[in-house]
Amino acid sequence: MDRASIDETIRNLIEPFNKKLVAITDATTFANDLEFDSLTVMDFVAAIEDEFDIIISMNQQAEIENFGQLIDAVVKIQGA
């Protein structure tokens, strides 16, 4: 999958978690803009892992702060 396809898929996955209907850009942060708590993060990461059949390690999760970084991480994991 290319970056644009991954972006679109993740935008669809994030909809149920985006309670405040924040406009999603590459700079949108999960903690501040979307106000994800730890349980929401776990559920969202599980949805991404299931959709793309990948595993995002705890170390990788700690480094991902915004939407753009998440897309880049999925691209990298799929290419690895």
pLDDT at 31 over 70: yes
pLDDT at 1 over 90: no
pLDDT tens digits, 46-73? 999 999 999 999 999 999 999 999 999 9
Question: Domains in the chain, please, with CATH?
Answer: 3-79 (1.10.1200.10)
Q: CA 76 to CA 80: how far, in whole Å? A: 6
**Tokens at residue 24, please?**
């999603």
Question: pLDDT at position 46, please?
Answer: 97
pLDDT at 80 over 70: no
Question: pLDDT at position 69, please?
Answer: 97
pLDDT at 22 over 70: yes
